Chain A
Amino acid sequence: MAYEEPVTDYDKIVENCTCAFCGSNCDDLDYLVKDNRVVAVRHACRLGASKIMEDEDQRLIVPMIRDETGELVETDWDTALDKAAELIANAVRPLFYGWSETSIECMKKGLKLTEYVGAVIDNQATICHGPTVQAVQNVGYPLMTLGEVKNRADMVVYSGSNPMNAHPRHLSRYTMFPRGWFRPRGRYDRTLVTWDPKFSDTAKMSDIWVPFEENGDYEFVNAIRAVLKGKELKKDVIAGIPKEDIIELTEAMKNVEFGALFFGLGLTHTLSKQRNIDIAIQLVQDLNAYTKWVLLPMRGHFNVNGFNIFLSYEMGFPYGVDFCRGYPRYMIGETTTIDLLNRREPDVFMVIAADPGAHFPGGALAHLTNIPVIQIDIHWGPSTELADVVLPGTFIGVETAGTSYRMDSVPIHMKKAIDPPETCREDEWIVNELYERVKKIKEASK
């Protein structure tokens, strides 16, 4: 990588901003602002910095509606909002998906709209940590804050996740490198373990790498639990790991002072899905008979956890909540986005702060091409190509203040640093405006 000169040409520094990229929600960033643009970011990782600085070139600036020829044409806010409200008001099975990259304040308005029209509200957990949430409902949540890990942990396990690539500051800010109260020498006082079939960048810097076979997670953890209960292992190799290594690892895990297990989609989305997490949580419960162990999912977007917390608090269910009968219902496979789209049920799809066009399976996307799609987002992406109405929002944490929840469920206020483009509107305002307009249409038709 070429050497880059430090940026010295700026008007002001906005300190202690919160990064709007991954679930680590680093809240120590300094933005260097010139002419109402962020020209440099201090302390952020490359992922966060590039999202904050380099988004502008793909920025959605004005509302758009797809015309008869299939082209998106620019329009004014009134026309675009009326069109979107009309689609929502006349829908029989509307589905509102996304929400993980916007603020809790906006979600609150979104839930009001969902409940009013009898729609389904769902977020990205449906394609990422949904199985985690299900397992937590089954067997509990031995949770901690990242500050506890920083100050206490002497063993950190990453399972099926690669924070060096996906959460680059996770190790340096919270788990491995910082010097904590009980770990004064930082990295030297801690053991890093990676359970991953891949020799990932995190595995490369680990003290112990456990490359169990793909889809072997459940069997591997089951064997550790059996060892903890005093069983002599029968098979020589379990899920690709020699039994001696499993016994050695189990002993090491028993003999630490404070252990933390972090897991990502490598654990949640292999063969046995939520049961992998279920058994990992129970392993942590078992280990607590010997020493202190905790567990945490590595959440992806900066507010994906926030949506689950918000919806659980408001409705009792974490994601995929269906209001079509007037009361909240939640059933994996029935009220979740991908299943609904695969079954070709929704007749209007609203996506806010998400990019299903880039991430959904082909079958689900095929249905999106057949139904009206409303997009509320800040930049152009594959979903814009599917959208019939485009409503440009603002960037939470840069252009608009808001609340988000870090992966360990700590709420964090995200500052406003610069002004949004004049033609864009805040997500919260857009969703509220849709609610008002839908209400007007519904009441007029009564």
Chain B
Amino acid sequence: MKTITLTPKKFSSIALEFDELIPDKVYDWNKEDFEKYEVPIGNSRFPLTDYFDIEIEGSAEGPEEVKMILDGDMGRVKYIGCKMSAGDILVNGDADLQVGAEMTGGSIKVNGNAESYAGREMKGGSLEIMGNVREYCGTSYIGEWRGMSDGIIKVHGNAGKQLADCMSGGEIYVDGGCDILAGIHMTKGYIEIGGDVTRWPAGQMKNGTVVIKGKLGRLLEGFEVEGIYKNPEIHGKQLTGKYIKYKGDIGVNGKGSLWLNAEKNRDLL
């Protein structure tokens, strides 16, 4: 097991890009390699040691034996764990844009908030965010019709606009509330939102499942009631309480299901 600890010592308002510092690439690096390494900032590269104190313990045969600890505020460090396939990354602070984007395996835990595009086009592994996420968590690249296709994202705070657009697999759990258009264009997968949702979840969904345990602000006309179920089992999970099941979105001949907590959404009954 190899533990790599990076402790920030200097702040750069121009974001650092960490797409080259993933377990897949650094598992066999020793301290000299890190000291030699220059991190991309804007159109230049600067020594990583200008910005971080580096500590390495143990050794690793492969990326799965690597644990990277980013011990501090990473609010200006983009692409943390981007395209990683194995290993663990722990961020003890906020994470900037694109944390866990296109990851295929391994795990990332952020002990803070994450900026937009967390878990974009994720294909596997797990991403856990203890705080809030901003817009476009688990979404597709602009123009791509396939978003997150596998893996798990857990958000313990709130999620921003257009959570998981074009989702085509995997699972997303949000404990807090969620802004507009969660699961827009989704074709497969599972989204569970614990808190309240402002407007229009699952617009233009073709398939997949969205569960809302809180109060929904506004529902789209493209959804039709299929029935009311008590303690339903959805996606292999047993939910407690009464749920209204909707089918939609009719506009795209969708067969997706949207489940709303009946107690919290009495106005829709």
Give me the interface of A with B, judged by CB distance under 8 Å: 91-94, 117-119, 134, 137-138, 218-219, 222-223, 225-226, 228-229, 231, 233-235, 238, 271-272, 275, 278-279, 282, 286, 323-325, 330-334, 343-345, 347
Can you list 19 A-B pairs, Cβ within 8 angstroms, ordered by A? Answer: A91-B42, A93-B41, A93-B43, A138-B143, A138-B185, A222-B204, A223-B220, A223-B222, A231-B224, A271-B199, A272-B181, A275-B162, A325-B17, A331-B98, A333-B136, A334-B97, A344-B13, A345-B13, A345-B42
B157 contacts chain A at the CB level, 8 A cutoff: no
B136 to chain A: which residues have CB within 8 Å? 333
State which size class the interface on B falls in: 35 or more
Q: Chain B residues with Cβ under 8 A from A286's Cβ? A: 251
Let me know if B252 is at the binding interface, CB within 8 A: yes
Whether A279 lies near B204 (C-beta < 8 A) is yes
Query: Min CB distance, B235 to chain A, in Å?
Result: 25
Which residue of the partner chain, among B78, B98, B145, B180, contacts A272 with CB atoms under 8 Å? B180
B40 at the interface (CB under 8 A from A): yes
| Known A323-B43, A344-B13; 8 more pairs at CB < 8 Å | A218-B200, A219-B218, A222-B220, A225-B250, A275-B203, A279-B204, A324-B40, A324-B43
A425 to B225, CA, bound (A): 66
Contact partners of A279 in chain B: CB under 8 A: 203-204, 251
Determine if A334 and B249 form an interchain contact, defined as CB atoms under 8 angstroms apart: no
Whole-angstrom distance between the Cβ of A231 and the nearest chain B Cβ: 5
Q: Tell me the bound Cα distance from A229 to B249 in angstroms.
A: 11
- Give every chain A residue within 8 A of B185 (Cβ-Cβ): 138
Residue from the set B43, B97, B250, B253 with the largest chain A CB neighbour count within 10 Å: B43
* In-complex Cβ contact of A334 among B40, B76, B98, B162 (8 A): B98
Q: Is the CB of A134 within 8 A of B43?
A: no
State how many angstroms separate the Cβ of A219 from the closest Cβ of chain B. 6
Q: How far is the CB of B256 from chain A (nearest CB, A)?
A: 14
In the assembled complex, the Cα of A350 lies from the Cα of B222 at a distance in Å of 46
Interface centre among B97, B98, B251 (most CB of A within 10 A): B251
**Residue B269 interfacial (CB < 8 Å):** no
B175-217 CB mask vs A (1 if < 8 Å, else 0) is 0000011001100000000000001100110000000000000
Residue of B nearest to A119 (CB): B43
The residue in B41, B142, B250 that gathers the most chain A C-beta atoms within 10 A of its C-beta is B142
A330 nearest in chain B by CB position = B142
Give the Cβ gap from B82 to chain A, nearest Cβ, in Å. Answer: 12
* Complex contact B251–A347 (CB within 8 A): no
User: Are A137 and B142 in contact (CB-based, < 8 A)?
Assistant: yes
Q: Which residues of A contact B117 (CB under 8 A)?
A: 331, 333-334
Q: Which of A219, A238, A282, A331 contacts B142 (CB 8 A)?
A: A331
Residues from chain A with Cβ under 8 Å of B224 in the complex: 231
| Contact B135 A333, beta carbon cutoff 8 Å | yes
Q: Is B38 an interface residue (CB 8 A)?
A: no
Q: Is the CB of A229 within 8 A of B203?
A: no
Please list the 9 inter-chain residue pairs (A to B) with the smallest Cβ-Cβ separation, ordered nearest first.
A118-B43, A137-B143, A225-B251, A93-B42, A92-B42, A223-B221, A324-B43, A226-B221, A344-B13
Check B13 against A343 for contact (C-beta < 8 Å): yes
Chain B residue at minimum C-beta to C-beta distance from A332: B142
Q: B residues 214-268 with Cβ under 8 Å of A?
A: 218, 220-222, 224, 249-253
B112-169 contacts to A (CB < 8 Å): 116-117, 135-136, 142-143, 145, 161-162
| Cα distance A234–B253 in the bound complex, in angstroms | 18
- Whether B43 lies near A117 (C-beta < 8 A) is yes
Query: Which residue of B is nearest A333, CB measured?
Result: B116
**Quick check: A219 and B180 within 8 Å, CB to CB?**
no
| Nearest-Cβ distance from residue B240 to partner chain A, whole angstroms | 28
Which residue of A91, A271, A278, A345 contacts B180 across the interface (Cβ within 8 Å)? A271
Across-interface contacts of A331 in B (CB, < 8 A) = 97-98, 117, 142
B14 near A345 with CB under 8 A, answer yes
B15 CB within 8 Å of chain A: yes
Contacts of A275 on B, CB cut-off 8 Å? 162, 181, 184, 203
Could you say which of A117, A134, A275 has the most chain B C-beta atoms within 10 Å of its C-beta? A275
B43-A231 in contact (CB<8A)? no
**A222–B15 CB distance below 8 A:** no
Instruction: Tell me, in angstroms, the Cα distance from A331 to B218 when the chains sit together.
Output: 30
- Assess the A226–B250 pair: CB atoms within 8 A: yes
Q: Are A233 and B142 in contact (CB under 8 A)?
A: no
Find chain B residues with CB under 8 A from A278 CB.
Answer: 204
Interchain CB contact under 8 A, B221 and A92: no
